[in-house]
């Protein structure tokens, strides 16, 4: 990695937590300068504009979440255990996610839908990627006999994502992980009662 690439990555890594905690829209170039310790010229020498920093910082935040989730499920021996591990990942990671400003996908989804339209493609891509990951796990479980053959993987993937994100939203808003726990417990019951063979 050359000097320019290192500087660009440094800016992304330093600003990503700031954007997720303060908000993508209200974070200013002055905030970026303060958190990185770099000059305005250095920021704009590595990025076209603030919008590009926003998109790259968002992608970085999501990649960290994706890597952590992958690590939590990759060593599980079956699709059934992988789904349960995904649920427990969110249960165990809730406090850390809250300390870091909440779910980066949920945060950015709200902002990109309201006014940061340039961010919408990246947000949609991350939700689609998560959906595909869950759907593939369920399809794999159907093929190996762990899950029932008459279920709809895409519908269950959507349901799980809605329950998780809704649980995070309510828990963060109301200051208690109770709502996320209810959502995660519901997912476990769905897996055990509707999906498992």
Neighbours of 188 (CB within 10 A): 14
Q: What is the CATH number of the domain that holds 27?
A: 1.10.357.10
Q: Which long-range contacts (CB under 8 A, 24 or more apart) does 90-93 make?
A: 90/164, 90/167, 90/168, 90/180, 90/184, 91/180, 91/181, 91/184, 93/68
pLDDT tens-digit readout, 26-59: 999 999 999 999 999 999 999 999 999 999 999 9
Structural domain count, the chain: 1
Judged against a pLDDT cut of 80, whether residue 2 lies above it is answered with yes
pLDDT at 63 over 80: yes
Can you give the pTM of this predicted structure? 0.92
Question: What is the predicted pLDDT for the residue at 114?
Answer: 75
7-22 residue pLDDT tens: 999 999 999 999 999 9
Instruction: Answer whether residue 147 shows pLDDT above 90.
Output: yes
Predicted pLDDT at 145: 94
Q: Which domain holds residue 147?
A: 3-195
* Chain centroid, CA 66 distance in Å: 6
The DSSP output letter for 147 is B
């Amino acid at each position: 990695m050359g000097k320019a690439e290192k500087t660009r990555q440094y800016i992304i890594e330093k600003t990503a937590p700031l954007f997720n905690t303060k908000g993508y829209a209200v974070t200013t170039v002055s905030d970026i300068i303060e958190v990185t310790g770099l000059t305005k010229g250095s920021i704009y020498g590595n990025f076209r504009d603030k919008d590009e920093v926003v998109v790259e910082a968002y992608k970085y935040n999501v990649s960290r979440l994706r890597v952590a989730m992958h690590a939590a499920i990759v060593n599980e021996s079956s699709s059934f255990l992988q789904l349960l591990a995904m649920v427990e990942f969110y249960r165990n990671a809730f406090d850390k996610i809250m300390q870091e400003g909440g779910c980066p996908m949920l945060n950015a989804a709200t902002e990109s839908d309201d006014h940061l339209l340039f961010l919408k493609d990246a947000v949609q891509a991350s939700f689609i990627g998560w959906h595909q990951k869950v759907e593939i796990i369920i399809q794999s479980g159907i093929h190996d006999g762990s899950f029932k053959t008459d279920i709809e993987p895409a519908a269950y993937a959507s349901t799980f994502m809605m329950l998780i994100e809704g649980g995070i939203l309510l828990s963060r808003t109301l200051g208690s992980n109770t709502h996320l726990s209810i959502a995660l417990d519901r997912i476990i019951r769905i897996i055990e009662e509707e999906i498992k063979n």
